[in-house]
């Protein structure tokens, strides 16, 4: 087999010659990279386990007594609704239902829940 590098010069190499040095170095570099990545991954896993043991995140094992029996569900959230009457506005509804909550905050929540400031007689106004 003959390879021409420059016109007038040629290099002869036998068909069974060893890998060139750059291919060997490239293969060794790839093996070294795999080894380094594996060692770093193992070190990170070890660190995560050590930190998890040293730092108490406030968790505790589950107790069987705290598990809900099958077939029971947690209580559904309470939905409060006011049916709009003649003369009602979001501001009058807020005054009637807001309790200790600030009026402006309650009105903003009413607007968000009901899609705007307009209400009609008989409309179900969702309360926060």
pLDDT in tens, 15-74: 555 556 777 888 888 899 999 999 998 888 887 776 665 555 555 555 656 555 665 666
Q: For residue 86, what are the contacts with CB-CB under 8 A and spacing of at least 6?
A: 121
- Residue 94, Cβ density class (10 Å: 0-12 exposed, 13-18 middle, ≥19 buried): buried
The pLDDT of residue 36 is 93
Which region holds residue 26: left if phi is over 0, alpha if psi is between -120 and 50, else beta?
Answer: alpha
> Residue 101: its pLDDT value, please?
85
Asked if pLDDT for residue 115 goes beyond 80, the answer is yes
The alpha carbon of residue 56 and the mean position of all alpha carbons in its chain are separated, in whole angstroms, by 23
What would the two tokens of residue 99 be?
């309790």
Whole-prediction pTM: 0.41
């Amino acid at each position: 087999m003959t390879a021409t590098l420059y016109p007038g010069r040629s290099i002869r190499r036998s068909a069974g010659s060893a890998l060139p040095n750059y291919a060997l170095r490239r293969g060794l570099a790839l093996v070294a990279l795999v080894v380094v990545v594996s060692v770093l991954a193992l070190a990170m896993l070890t660190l995560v386990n050590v930190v998890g043991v040293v730092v108490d995140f406030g968790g505790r094992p589950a107790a069987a007594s705290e598990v809900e029996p099958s077939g029971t569900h947690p209580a559904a959230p309470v939905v409060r609704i006011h049916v709009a009457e003649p003369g009602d506005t979001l501001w009058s509804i807020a005054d009637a239902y807001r309790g200790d909550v600030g009026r402006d905050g309650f009105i903003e929540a009413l607007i968000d829940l009901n899609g705007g400031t307009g209400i009609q007689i008989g409309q179900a106004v969702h309360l926060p």
